[in-house]
Amino acid sequence: MLFWIVAGVLTLVCVTLLVTAFRTPPETFAPDVEVYRDQLAELDRDAARGVIAPQEAEATRAEVARRLLAADRAARGQTAGWQGNVTAGAGLAGVVVIGVTGAAYWHLGAPGYGDLPLAARIDAIEAQRDGRAGQAIAEAEVPDNIDTTRPEITQMADQLRSVLAERPDDLRGWRLAVQTESGLGDLEAAWRAQDRVIAILGEAATAEDFTLLAELMILAANGYVSPEAERALARALDMDPTNGTARYFAGLMYAQGGRPDLAWPIWRRLVGDSTPDAPWLPPIYAQIEQVSAAAGDPTPIEQLPRPRGPSAEDVEAMGELSLEERMDAIGGMIEGLAARLSSDGGPPRDWAQLITAYGVVGRIDAASVIYEEAKLIFAGDQGALDILAAGADRAGLAP
């Protein structure tokens, strides 16, 4: 109902403006009238000064007055002709505005549909996401891309499949199958092998295992994040919320599913938590401006958070420094990381990196202090505490 009220008001305003323009009379340009009036005034002044005889003045006045009346009638005729077209022009303007408005709405709008509030739209999008195609349907639309140019590898894969059929719990064999099938381009077989790896591991399966399963599923579906891949990503992120690959694919899933409002913050935070050489940055940069605009927060790439930490080029350049210069550079990086975590905080991996770095340079006391502080920050998050414990172990801290 609100739409029709607004549309009606806007249409009325447009018609009113057009009718007002039609009803505004044009300026009538009648120079003869002004000339004759000036002549009459000049004639009266001459008669008063005695320059012209009274009889001659009367005759001249009568002639000028006659011409003045004729010029005035001509000017009034122009205005009368315009007034005769006002009603027809205003009516035509109203018909055109209303007709064009109605036709545009009929073509671009949704006649007969009620208002669709934001909450209802989100519910509709989520319902559509829940009913989207599964992994098998998505894979059926992807052409086979299996490498058949290396018969020795193909023969080895066939032999491995035969062995695993008789040894379904051979963890090492299934891990090898994941690598072999991936190398051949049989991504469906690869993710099924990884699914078997997770089944064998049971509770020992890690976030990396579930992330690899999701990634293989997505690649097998030509980049599409199916409900099955979504479940694998959810398991991975539940175990390790900082996993960069899983976070990237989670954002991709929401972007594909019509929820840029959820994809945008995931990718924006991931960029800020990444190092410059993170593999997910190029695909994020290729899509994030469009996603941010769709989310209602258009942000150029230049305004995104800067990736953190040294890039591969930085590490290579450090290898060319002398030992003393290298130690100074490492010390600067450590202090920079410590200052950032102190002021802005960060994910558990960054805290674990700082703990390890202090241990490597021999500052065990500092590593211990940071470890205790980080445990308080991430208390209750077992996945984060495990990451911190691994960092403390690398730093040489006693358990």
CA–CA distance from 59 to each of 54, 64, 111 (Å)?
9, 9, 76
What is the signed CA dihedral for 65, 69, 72, 78, rounded to 10 degrees? -150
| Of 48-57, 91-100, 212-221, 265-274, minimum mean pLDDT range | 91-100
Taking only the tens place, the pLDDT of each residue in 136-151 is 999 998 888 787 787 8
Domain that holds residue 342: 318-395
DSSP per position, 356-385: HHHHHTT-HHHHHHHHHHHHHHTTT-HHHH
312 within a domain of the structure (yes/no): no
155 within a domain of the structure (yes/no): yes
- Per DSSP, 52 falls in state S
Whether residues 169 and 279 share a domain: the answer is yes
Q: 61 is written with which tokens?
A: 């006045």
329 within a domain of the structure (yes/no): yes
- Per DSSP, 309 falls in state S
119 within a domain of the structure (yes/no): no
CA–CA distance from 385 to each of 58, 98, 338 (Å)?
117, 67, 18
263 within a domain of the structure (yes/no): yes
Whether residues 178 and 274 share a domain: the answer is yes
123 within a domain of the structure (yes/no): no
Whether residues 298 and 359 share a domain: the answer is no
Whether residues 353 and 297 share a domain: the answer is no
pLDDT of 235 reads 95
Taking only the tens place, the pLDDT of each residue in 92-146 is 666 776 777 767 766 666 565 555 555 666 667 677 777 788 999 999 988 887 8
Instruction: Give the integer Cα–Cα distance in Å for 361 and 374.
Output: 19
pLDDT exceeds cutoff 80 at 64: no
Ordered alpha helix ranges (H), the chain: 2-23, 31-49, 54-83, 86-108, 118-130, 135-140, 151-166, 171-184, 187-201, 207-220, 227-239, 244-256, 260-273, 281-294, 312-318, 323-344, 348-360, 364-377, 382-395
Whether residues 269 and 336 share a domain: the answer is no
pLDDT exceeds cutoff 60 at 34: yes
- Which CATH number fits the domain that encloses residue 277? 1.25.40.10
- Give the count of alpha carbons within 13 A of 239, CB side only: 15
Whole-prediction pTM value?
Answer: 0.56
Whether residues 76 and 183 share a domain: the answer is no
End position of a domain, from candidates 46, 77, 108: 108
Whether residues 284 and 336 share a domain: the answer is no
Whether residues 54 and 102 share a domain: the answer is yes
Q: How many domains does the chain have?
A: 3
